[in-house]
Amino acid sequence: MRAFTCYHAPAAYAFRDRDLTLQLLLPDEESSLVELFLCYAVEGTALSAELRMLPVDGIVVGESYSAYAVTVPAADLAGGTALRYHFKRKGEVGDTYCIPLQDAPKMPPFIVSEFFPWGNGLLQCAELYNPGTETVDLYDYELLLLNQDGEEHKRDPLADAAGVNLLAPGELGVLDFISWAIHKERDAHGDEEDLVFSHLAAQYPETCADLAERHVKWMEVELACKDEKGEWCSKEGCFGIYSWINERKLAVVPRGGTLSDAVYRMSINPDRQHLHVHKFRSSLWTVDPLEPSVAICTHPRVMPTPGYAEPHQFLPLAHAVTVPAILPLEPEGRVHLSNGDCRFTFAVLGREVALPTVWVKVQETYRAYPAELNNDGIFEAVLPAEVLSHLPGKLEYYIEVKGGLYTANYGTADAPCTRKVTDNAGPSILRSYPAEGQVLEREQSPEISLSYDDISGVNLRTSILCVDGKNVSTMADWQPDGVRYRPQKPLAYGKHTFEVSLRDTLGNRTYRKVSFGICDGSKMECYRGEVHCHTLESDGLGSPADAFTYARDEGKVDYFAVTDHSHYLTLEEMRAQRRVAEGFNVNGKYATTHGFEMTWNYMSGFWGHMNVLNTDWITPYHEEIDLYTFYDMLTADPDAIGMFNHPCDTWGMFDDFDVWTKERDEKMCLAEIRGGGFDRGYTLMLSKGWHAAPVANEDNHAANWTTATTTTGYVLAPSLTRENVLEAFRRRRTYTTCDNTMQIRYRVNGEWMGSRLQAPKKLSMEVEITTENENGIGLLSIVTEDNIVVARIDAGPLREFNWHVELDPDFDYYYLRANNGSLYSVTSPVFVEGRDLLNISRMDYGVCAEDAEMPHVVEVTVENSSDKPMKDVSVQYYVTPLGGFELRNLTPFASVHIGKLEAGKSHTVARRFPTVPGRRRITAVVSGYRGKERFADTTYRLITPVRIGKMLPQTSSVTIGEEEIKNPFRYVELYNPMPHAVSLDKYTLKLWHASGVAPQPERCLALDGYTIPAGGTLTVWVRPAAAPLTVADFNTRYGTSLVEGKDLIVTENRILTANGGGHMLDLVFQKEIVSRATFGKYCVLENDIAEDVPLVYGDFAPMNMRQRKLTLPEEAKVLPGSVQKEQIPAAKRGGCRRREAVEAEKAVTKRSIITRLTEAPLVPLQAAKLIASAVSAVKHILKTKE
């Protein structure tokens, strides 16, 4: 018999106790008036039979096809091991197929079809599906939460009473778990009608706008109750289904049953394969009919569709026994690489069609490419060209579709469909430098380069490179993966081109012409934009395409990037965002790029948030990577651009910008400074040596990207291309402003902001600034190291202003800051290098016990690292608040004249300072002369009379009667190292419990009325609420004799925690932080809290109030009320008092501090105002005439 043309997809398996309906597709010209039969035999039995097939449906896709079906009764399959069959019509026989037969396992009473654990705080729900034939009462079952050992930890009911939450056969229903957190959030919204549905409709308009109209079955179960204080709390033993990104195991058991009775198990994010989004997305789930008691995640990140099925979601039905029919529409022929992406199209017949997928063999394993239904009713899957181009001449694949109980396969992994891949495309050009439209700055001998790729290889002998029309192929360095060429003679400023013609070993050709420019860098344009925002792909709104479109059309920005949180994205999703960005990029109009935000929160180190632009990698699991490892990842990527995001106490300060290295500094190009509130973070970052430039972003999580505020970032670049914007970032040529119309051009010695000057003799600063703001420009300041202002002028309401300032290059950098009320702008600095010849090499602190009036002693070691003597060396001390000061208008608190300092020598001087409430900044400025050239340096430290000495966040439990009291004796201790008593009036302890949240009132403790004696301590016992414990119990526990109201405070305010996160405990005077103790997982991956092990703190870290943790000897006995010797500041006598210093300097030639530090070339401030006003007036007259 001869074969005939037909299309059939066999089932992957069948059940012995269920009917099996098979389908076959025939072209209509083949099927007209035909008798078609199924011939089958059941292996393991003697049964064989022949059944006639009947027409049931049809498909028209260009050609028409008829579908025939036949049902093999369950009785025939009983007792068999496999069903072997073929199709037959008059004189013709089709292929033979074999389906293994199995006993049908018992379906669970219900399965989770969608999991939505966090709906922005207003709901935690699971969509449930009944796959069986009987109604299920959820009251009959409970949900178990398992611990890390796989044992029961907690359990939730699934209904509040019998007969309330019912699921009919084949029905979907949403079960809303009402936890205490949900109650609290909903209470905050008051009596808002249809709160959950209206919230879902607003947050997810595409999928949840019509939930009410859909008549979604909505069920609830109460997991909370109110305590004796009337506050919501969890019912005993219950848990909320929301969890962080780690794995969570759940099990369903009959009511009152144990884990061994489980009828359904679910593992969320096993081995972190799902990357399950914990807040703003749902995940879709199903089961394998062969093992229906185990949940399977099919889509880990989707928009929520609670209460109704997503198209092609797999919901198995016990009575659905028809195997889907698959009609492949792409002929099994050749695939040509020149056509780009490879598209698989196929039609499917079946009532319950789910999970249509094309599996493609890539590097010896099959990779899934899900298919989507197009507008013609055809399924389509896309194999990207970059994957196709690396297949070894052959495309192997099969099609899989699920439906009802069964899975149909057209082809299999062992016998795949095959298509030959024809390489008729030239080599792919991956990258070029310069890029199209890019303008190079002063780079007249650029290394012109291209990287390329081809599966057959590039024929280097036939490839050609031309620059400005001249063939330079023989002078270029050709390699298998790229070509490089550097012009022998410098190229002129202006426009240029290079062309490349590449051929692969098969003769296929690629041609590319790139136009670029070269400029002298004297003219720059101000381009506005944003490189930090979010979409629904993390915790924002809208799609990346929505964001790019809105920022371009509504925000009118010049450059833009979407940077979703990395722990919400897979690598493929990030690459998809990159492709979206590339699609919006238009040279000269809109420069777009991509990135991600590395988001360390208080549970994963509290280092802060960091944006990374222009990479091909991502780090989804931030709790496994510390800041320093991440720095190393950045330094390993030549293209990566890093940005410190919103450096502040609320979100993290990157370990106070410590652990600087040259390599890390090179990659951290930007700092997100959104306004004056971030000025402290910016100045600390610069003081610690980082060369990061300020740029503002909204960090937008709404759908109004770039228009939510007037705060914005600017870059100065010669051309609006992606490459020029990224290069401007690398050159640190940016500024931030709260006035989005303000354009600033700031140069020093002709070099733009962000530049590095090598050993200049003088500094000539030029500022050009304009604004459209009706309030004008305001106050302008030239700011140098450590937030010291060296020049200032008030432009007031002027909208155009030019300012020329001349200074000596005393310090390491200088930047421009503008303030006009709440409007704040700041530029990147111009850095001065090669002048570090006179340095403050050490700044040490101690206490003079003999001087209660001025006990603080600050020693400064000055070093002459030049090869010649320095003369007239002097040190000036300034006492100020933390925020910096204006050098010209502040008299030094103390001055020390060293005189001559020989080459290579150092000299240490010291002065005493008084105690004041709160904190003070002690700044030392050293200056001296080598010949007529002056050199200078500065540094500072903070002083305070009282500090946090130790804490014990977690203590072992005690039992009183039958009550176990957890954490009964945790405490905080304050230490006064001064030789005088310190009043704690207006002091407060404040706990930073979580990132993004300022200390709440219940986590604060006012200390008014208490005094710590000289050298003494004050212990704060954080007693558990309503615990029957006394001061005597506390003293007994530690063997102490503390007295409440004297050296002991007892509080139930929650100023300590041991929840496993990173935390900060601040001692605050009014609004000033005078001491900060960090603990837990703060800037570390491993929790430093151990039960009954105190944390002991010593002196402050450089330039801030964070105290260093001490490592004590093992034999050290640490008790509340005692001070360890390692905590006691060094005993120092210091220099003479200030009145004696004045007398000592009478013999020295008197010079004002202004003369010493700035000399004559600095334009006096009044003259600068007159010059600037005159220039602005002339410009205004000329503009009016025009």
Q: Does domain 742-835+1161-1186 have CATH number 1.10.1200.10?
A: no
Does the pLDDT at position 1141 exceed 60? Answer: no
pLDDT tens per residue, range 19-72 = 999 999 998 876 566 789 999 999 999 999 999 999 998 888 888 999 999 999
Q: How sure is the predictor about 299, in pLDDT bands with cuts at 50, 70 and 90?
A: confident
Q: What is the pLDDT of residues 803-831, one digit of tens each?
A: 999 999 999 999 999 999 889 999 999 99
Give the rounded percent of residues in the chain with a pLDDT score beyond 70: 94
Task: Select from 396, 387, 399 the least CA-distant residue to 337.
Answer: 387
Using one digit for the tens of pLDDT, what is the confidence trace for 586-608?
Answer: 999 999 999 999 999 888 889 99
From the list 213, 233, 231, the residue with the least C-alpha distance to 223 is 233
Query: If you average pLDDT over residues 303-330, what whole number do you get?
Result: 89
Delimiting residues of CATH 2.60.40.1260 domain(s) in the chain:
947-1131
Residue 850 CA to residue 935 CA, distance in Å, equals 36
> DSSP secondary structure string, 216-251?
--EEEEE-EEE-TTS-EEEPTT---S---SS-EEEE
Least confident of 155-164, 257-266, 617-626, 1143-1152: 1143-1152
- Whether CATH 2.60.40.10 fits 838-943: yes
pLDDT of residue 1179 exceeding 60, the answer is no
Average pLDDT estimate for 409-428: 94
Find out whether 1095 and 1116 touch, Cβ atoms under 8 Å: no
- Give span(s): CATH 3.20.20.140, the chain: 522-738
| pLDDT score recorded for residue 350 | 86
Phi, psi (degrees; rounded to nearest 5) at 145 = -105, 125
pLDDT for res 30: 61
> Residue 1112 — very low, low, confident or very high, per pLDDT cuts 50/70/90?
very high
Class assignment of domain 429-519? Answer: mainly beta
pLDDT > 90: percent of the chain: 78
Answer whether 736's CB lies under 8 Å from 713's CB: yes
pLDDT at 244: 60
- How would you label 301-328 residue by residue, b for 16+ Cβ within 10 Å and e otherwise? bbebbbbbbbebbbbbbbebbbbbbbbb
Distance CA 418, CA 413 (A): 11
Residue 1174: which pLDDT band, with cuts at 50, 70 and 90?
Answer: very low
**Would you state the structure tokens that stand for residue 833, as one six-digit string?**
């290098």
Tokens of 450: 């291209």
* Whole-angstrom distance, CA of residue 452 vs CA of residue 1016: 71
Identify the top-confidence range among 202-211, 578-587, 1057-1066: 578-587
- 947-1131 belongs to which homologous superfamily? Lamin Tail domain (2.60.40.1260)
Note the pLDDT of residue 166: 98
Reported as a single tens digit per residue, the pLDDT across 859-911 is 999 999 999 999 999 999 999 998 889 998 899 999 999 999 999 999 999 99
pLDDT in tens, 163-206: 999 999 999 999 999 998 889 888 888 877 788 898 888 888 88
pLDDT class of 1165 with cuts at 50, 70, 90: very low
Closest among 702, 1152, 598, 726 to 927, alpha carbons compared: 1152
CA–CA dist 712, 706 (Å, integer): 8
Look up the CATH architecture of domain 14-102. Sandwich (2.60)
Which of the four CATH numbers 3.20.20.140, 3.40.47.10, 3.90.1150.10, 3.40.50.800 does domain 522-738 have?
A: 3.20.20.140
Is the pLDDT reported for residue 1169 higher than 70?
no
pLDDT value at 1139 more than 60: no
| Residue matched to tokens 């007693």 | 1023
Quick one: pLDDT band at residue 1170, thresholds 50, 70, 90? Answer: very low
SS3 assignment, position 955: coil
Q: How confident is the model at residue 787 (pLDDT cuts 50, 70, 90)?
A: very high
Distances (CA, A) of 548 to 280, 436, 582, 1120: 21, 21, 11, 58
* Residue length of the chain: 1186
Q: Which residues pair with 141 in a beta bridge?
A: 254
Alpha carbon distance 657, 1102 (integer Å): 11
Distance CA 817, CA 993 (A): 34
* Residue 417: C-alpha distances to residues 292, 345, 360 (Å): 30, 13, 10
Q: What is the pTM of this model?
A: 0.88
- CATH 2.60.40.10 residue ranges in the chain? 14-102, 325-422, 838-943
**What would the mean pLDDT of 679-696 be, rounded to a whole number?**
97
In angstroms, rounded to a whole number, what is the distance separating the alpha carbons of residues 37 and 53? 5
Query: Given CA atoms 873, 879, 885, 891 in this order, what sign does their dihedral have?
Result: negative
**Taking the alpha carbons of 1151, 1155, 1159, 1160 in that order, is the dihedral positive or negative?**
negative
- C-alpha span between 5 and 978 (Å, rounded): 97
3-state helix, strand, coil in the chain (%, to 5): 15, 45, 40
Chain center to CA of 1105: 27
CATH number of 325-422: 2.60.40.10
Delimit the CATH 2.60.40.1930 region(s) of the chain. Answer: 742-835+1161-1186
